[in-house]
Structure 1
Amino acid sequence: MPAKILVCLDTDPQPSVFDGVVAVDAGVDHLFRHGGVTPADVQNLVYGAIFTRAPDELNNTAIFVGGSDVSAGEKVLAAVKETCFGPMRVSVMLDSNGSNTTAAAAVIAAGRHTDLSQSTVTVLAGTGSVGKRILLMLADDGARMRLGSRSLEHAQQVAEEVRHKAPNAVIECMVTTDEAGLRKSLDGANVVISSGPPGVELFPQRVRDDYPNLDVAIDLNAVPPLGIEGIEVVDKRVEQGSTICYGAIGVGGTKMKIHHAAIAKLFTANDLVFDATEIYELGKELEA
């Protein structure tokens, strides 16, 4: 049987060591790692992947798009899909900055403790790369969403992007830079997910004290100060009153499980495309 080859197209100058290690642990035989990849580079790289093996062997070659810039990764993914044709294609996965696998792990964690189709979920800093994907996944499950952001205009733009992919998405956009806006976003919510940048506190304890009936609180920031005060980075299913809490490392085990499974599944066919929705569906299958 031909060796399993994963071609890593990383938009950063140095390809991610993290993504390389995960790929090896997922059973990949060989890694071909390319850094500083732009859409203009993609065609020749993909041609090298699809024209070196017979069509019935192309399931043994796959492409992983990574890097710290999710927008750049999305453009590279689009170029990969555009370059493949007919039977001459390989499966491809996008997980720039861990955005898809992290978002899937967070939403799956919330869904363990509440029916998301009957939930109102506040997503703080929801306009970032992980936040956007959380919104899309929540929309797939029929949740009502509150999108918190520093900019109402930016929030509305992101909401439209989500609705373009999920027309039935119910999203209310709110500015949460001050306490009044934060409280408004939390009124009536039973789940809060903080997906903000490292070292930025978004949900202080003095406000949390007034919302003791949250079902779930998830903080995806691992750098102090954390996004939700009072949640520890290693928290996993920790009960604080009636609220189940998760920190970034607390959801990390699920994220890694999804990441490994997605890499392995790339080699089951030559026409798979794993972006947010597909990775979330895979995560739910693993959780079942």
Structure 2
Amino acid sequence: MKKNLLLQLDADPLPSAFDAVVAHDAGADALIARGGVTPADVRGQVYGLLFTRGIPDLKYSAAFVGGSDVAVGEALFTAAKDSFFGPFRVSVMLDSNGCNTTAAAAAAKIRGAMELAGKKVVVLAGTGPVGQRAAGLLAGEGAEVVLTSRRLDRVEAACRAVAERFGVTVGAAEAADAAGTERALAGAQAVLCCGAAGVRLMPEALWSGHPDLLVVADINAVPPLGAEGVEATWDGEERHGKKLFGALGIGGLKMRVHRACLARMFTQNDLVFDAEAIYATARELATS
């Protein structure tokens, strides 16, 4: 039996220890970790995977793109895919800074708690990689998604990026203060807090007494939490007639999804785990 080999491509000088641990837990027998990788470096590294094993055995090799810089990770991911030709390809996954697995897990939790088609979902502080991906995935389910930021120009740019990447339209709202957040949440059935660690986005009084909200989710695990009154450990806890998901509740699914996608890459040599493919896995695992 061939050993499962994972090539870890990381733009940071030191490859992520977190990604390495998850890779081993997911079934990688050996990890080839490369740090400080640029797009120009990728083809040679991928060719090392392609030309050392026969075509039937390429399913035992795979590539994972990580690192803390999502934009650079996307460039590395594209370079990896562009290195493939004919039957010479291996499965590849992008999850720089956990962007795809976190967004997929959050979206899957919300989807499992309510019907999304035609419902308004607000992604607070959603201009970053996780917020944009979650918005795209939720809009793909038929939700009316609104992104917020403290600056209107920034959130409008993020909405254009979501439209370009996911082919969906999402709305923009400025939420520079509590009043702006309250306006953005008018008529919303779900809210996902995607702000920076330790930044409160929504007081408990706002969501607890909201007449329409059914789901409140928050990816921030560092106090003060994004949604006041939502404990990080909650995974569908019910309070005030709403289902509540904290960062660790979402994170449990995120870790399952991360490991499952890595394990599946060693079953065939042509899987591409982008945001959509990772979300499909999250949807499956969220119901199991």
TM-score category by the smaller chain? over 0.9
Q: What do the CA deviations read for 1:115-174 (whole angstroms, capped 9, x no partner)?
A: 01132100011110100110111122111011111222221222122222433x342101
CA contact (8 A) 1:213 1:243 kept: no
Identity of aligned residues (%): 47
Which residue of the partner structure matches residue 70 of structure 2? 70
Residue correspondence of structure 1 range 127-146 to structure 2 within 5 A = 127-146=127-146
Find out whether 1:284 has 2:283 as its counterpart. yes
Amino acid at match of 2:6: L
**Cross-structure match for 1:266:** 265
Q: Is the contact made by 2:20 and 2:31 (CA closer than 8 Å) also made in structure 1? A: yes
Output the CA distance in 1 between the equivalents of 2:267 and 2:252. Answer: 24
Q: 2:68, 2:161 → 1: CA distance?
A: 21
Q: How far apart in 2 are the matches of 1:154 and 1:280?
A: 26
Any runs of at least 4 consecutive aligned residues in structure 1 with deviations exceeding 2 A, and if so which? 164-167, 205-210, 285-288
Determine whether 1:92 maps to 2:92. Answer: yes
User: Contact between 1:7 and 1:63, CA under 8 Å: does it hold in 2?
Assistant: yes
CA shift for structure 1 position 212 = 4.9
For 1:18, give the aligned amino acid: F
Q: How does 1:241-252 map to 2 (within 5 A)?
A: 241-252=240-251
Aligned to 1:82: 82
SS at match of 1:286: helix
- How many residue pairs get matched? 287
Are the aligned partners of 2:112 and 2:286 in contact in 1 as well (CA < 8 Å)?
A: no
1:81 positional shift: 0.9
Alignment partner of 1:106 is 2:106: yes
Give 1:119-198 correspondences, 5 Å limit.
119-167=119-167, 169-198=168-197
Tell me if structure 2 keeps the 8 A contact 1:39–1:75: yes
Report the Cα distance in structure 1 between the residues aligned to 2:13 and 2:202, rounded to whole angstroms: 35
Tell me the residue number matched to 2:38: 38
Q: Distance in 2 between matches of 1:237 and 1:107?
A: 13
Alpha-carbon shift at residue 239 of structure 1 (Å): 1.2
CA deviation digits over 1:159-210, x for unaligned, max 9? Answer: 122222433x342101111122111110000100001110111112242344
Aligned residue number for residue 59 of structure 1: 59
Aligned equivalents of 1:15 and 1:219: distance in 2?
A: 28
Question: Unaligned regions of 5+ residues in structure 2, if any?
Answer: none
After superposition, what is the alpha-carbon deviation per residue over 1:214-258, rounded to whole angstroms, capped at 9, x for unaligned? 111001001111111111111111111111111100111111111
Q: Is the 2:253–2:285 contact (alpha carbons within 8 Å) kept by the matching residues of 1?
A: no
SS of 1:2 mapped into structure 2: coil
RMSD: 1.3
CA displacement at 1:15 relative to structure 2:
1.1
Q: Quick check: 1:11–1:73 contact (8 Å CA) kept in 2?
A: yes
SS in structure 2 at match of 1:161: helix
> TM-score, structure 2 length as denominator?
0.96
Residues 230-245 of structure 1: pairs in structure 2 closer than 5 A: 230-245=229-244
Residues 260-287 of structure 1 show CA distances to partners (whole Å, capped at 9, x for unaligned) of 1100111121111111011001211223
CA distance in 2, matches of 1:68, 1:113: 30
CA distance, structure 2, for counterparts of residue 240 and residue 11 of structure 1:
42
